[in-house]
């Protein structure tokens, strides 16, 4: 079993190496044409600003440069996990060409984008091509004995030099192949890190020193707005539940008590029936109030903490669930509440949509982070998007700087990870 795992790991790493080389080749082929084209267009457009033509063309050209830079930022995150933050200043939607042009030119991030273009078509091109060269050059040496050396040696005779090995015939081609094997053994693991070096160079030029603060302000603004909307919706739900449920039963019970008061002397039998009905209404109203309170803040959460509250959730599921809890203390009440309802929403989604027959829940705290994973063996395909329950979970966690990660390939399994930075008491 361990041997199979090692082989699988080796195959996976070899796939990453080849993929990094291919991605580096794609980048290098795209860097020069797009980078040179946008650099020339930017310089020409800026030169024509005094003539008035540039007032019209500059916003369009700089928007294209921004789109090119955004594409590189996105690839840095998707391919190498390198996040490049931005801090573009917003422009009014109804800005005239003059305001739009000089608004973009006054933005420091715009000049970082423009400065990035010559860097990208020089050092960026070299670092993008390097992962491919590091992998393909040794492979080329290995292929020389198969007759490839003849393509490099002139027909009239001569020598092709592979590194420091002169290749003029089949024997020397095998010598070059041996060198290629040594080079491949030494360098085959480097393409992923070399591709990362390209994106780190990109981050050094494109990244904003204030990007993290700007992103933080943006996230806080969005989560505050979402929190306000969520709170307003929750208040409306509570009001509706009280009006349609407990309040209606209490009104009916009051009417029954009035009728009982009038019937006590005239029709004691009917009064007893109404009294029994009033007692049932009071019991039902009390149960609905308990359900309502449980929906606001479950008693088990307040009394016994997040771990037992999650266990209680699992016991109510129609599927078998295995819960593992490792919490040496308790988080603040708002964080426990957010985590509880987030887990509840994730479990509801799993029961409704996953088609799973088993669920695993793991709750633990490490490195000042509360981390909860919910795994099911269903059909997969879950995604965070508009209208999905997971989008609501993401907004709920964002209020506390929390994050939601979803891994759900087609065919399953689905792994949902919730993380909230916090300290335990």
Name the domain boundary from 277, 296, 315.
Answer: 296
371 and 269, same domain (yes or no): no
176 and 78, same domain (yes or no): yes
Residue 199 has pLDDT above 90, yes or no: yes
259 and 363, same domain (yes or no): no
21 and 103, same domain (yes or no): yes
For the segment 73-97, the average pLDDT, to the nearest whole number, is: 84
290 and 377, same domain (yes or no): no
Cα distance between residue 425 and residue 415, in whole Å: 28
128 and 244, same domain (yes or no): no
Domain tally for the chain? 3
Residue 212 has pLDDT above 60, yes or no: no
The dihedral sign for the CA sequence 273, 276, 278, 281: negative
Cα distance between residue 400 and residue 64, in whole Å: 35
By residue range, what is the domain housing residue 363? 300-421
Nearest to 69 by CA among 209, 202, 198: 202
166 and 259, same domain (yes or no): no
327 and 240, same domain (yes or no): no
pLDDT of residue 84: 85
Name the domain boundary from 276, 296, 316.
Answer: 296
Helices assigned H by DSSP within 48-84? 53-80
Residue 294 has pLDDT above 60, yes or no: no
pLDDT of residue 209: 63
pLDDT of residue 5: 35
For the segment 129-146, the average pLDDT, to the nearest whole number, is: 89
Cα distance between residue 162 and residue 295, in whole Å: 73
Instruction: For 4-31, write each residue's pLDDT tens digit.
Output: 434 445 777 788 888 999 999 999 998 8
259 and 288, same domain (yes or no): yes
Instruction: For 173-192, write each residue's pLDDT tens digit.
Output: 888 889 889 988 888 889 99
13 and 46, same domain (yes or no): yes
For the segment 269-295, the average pLDDT, to the nearest whole number, is: 71
Q: What is the residue-averaged pLDDT of the chain?
A: 81
The dihedral sign for the CA sequence 274, 275, 277, 282: positive
Structure tokens at 239: 């009001």
pLDDT of residue 383: 77
pLDDT tier at 156 (50, 70, 90 boundaries)? low
Instruction: For 251-280, write each residue's pLDDT tens digit.
Output: 777 777 777 777 777 777 877 777 787 777
223 and 255, same domain (yes or no): yes
134 and 236, same domain (yes or no): no
pLDDT tier at 1 (50, 70, 90 boundaries)? very low
Instruction: For 348-392, write each residue's pLDDT tens digit.
Output: 888 888 888 889 999 999 888 899 999 988 888 877 765 567 777
Name the domain boundary from 249, 268, 296.
Answer: 296
């Amino acid at each position: 079993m361990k041997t199979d795992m090692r082989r699988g790991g080796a195959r996976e790493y070899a796939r990453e190496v080849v993929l990094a080389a291919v991605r580096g080749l794609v980048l290098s082929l795209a860097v020069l044409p797009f980078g040179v084209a946008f650099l020339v267009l930017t310089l020409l457009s800026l030169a024509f600003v005094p003539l008035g033509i540039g007032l019209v063309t500059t916003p369009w050209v700089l928007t294209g440069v921004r789109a090119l830079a955004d594409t590189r930022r996105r690839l840095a995150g998707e391919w190498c996990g390198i996040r490049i933050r931005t801090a573009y200043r917003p422009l009014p939607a109804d800005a005239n060409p003059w305001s739009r042009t000089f608004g973009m030119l006054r933005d420091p991030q715009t000049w970082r984008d423009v400065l990035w273009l010559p860097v990208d078509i020089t050092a960026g091109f070299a670092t993008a091509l390097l992962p491919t060269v590091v992998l393909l050059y040794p492979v080329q040496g290995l292929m020389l004995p198969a007759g490839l050396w003849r393509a490099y040696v002139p027909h009239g005779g001569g020598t092709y030099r592979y590194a420091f090995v002169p290749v003029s015939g089949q024997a020397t081609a095998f010598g070059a192949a041996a060198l290629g094997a040594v080079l491949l053994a030494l360098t085959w693991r480097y393409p992923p890190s070399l591709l990362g070096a390209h994106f780190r160079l990109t981050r050094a030029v494109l990244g904003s020193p204030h990007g993290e603060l700007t992103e933080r302000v943006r996230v806080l603004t969005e989560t505050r707005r979402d929190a306000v909307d969520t709170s307003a919706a929750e208040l409306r739900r509570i009001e509706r539940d009280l009006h349609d449920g407990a309040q209606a039963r209490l009104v009916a019970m009051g009417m029954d008590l009035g009728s009982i008061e009038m019937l006590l002397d005239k029709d004691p039998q009917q009064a007893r029936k109404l009294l029994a009905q009033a007692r049932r209404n009071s019991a039902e109203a009390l149960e609905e109030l308990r359900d309502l309170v449980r929906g606001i803040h479950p008693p088990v959460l307040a009394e016994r903490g997040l771990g037992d509250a999650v266990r209680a959730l699992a016991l109510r599921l129609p599927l078998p669930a295995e819960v593992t809890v490792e919490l040496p203390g308790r988080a603040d009440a708002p964080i426990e509440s957010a985590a509880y309802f987030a887990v509840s929403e994730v479990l509801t989604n799993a029961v409704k949509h996953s088609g799973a027959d088993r669920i695993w829940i793991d709750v633990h705290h490490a490195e000042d982070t509360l981390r909860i994973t919910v795994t099911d063996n269903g059909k997969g395909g879950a995604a965070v998007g508009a209208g999905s329950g997971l989008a609501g979970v993401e907004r709920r966690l964002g209020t506390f700087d929390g994050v939601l990660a979803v891994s759900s390939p087609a065919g399953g399994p689905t792994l949902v990870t919730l993380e909230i930075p916090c300290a335990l008491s």
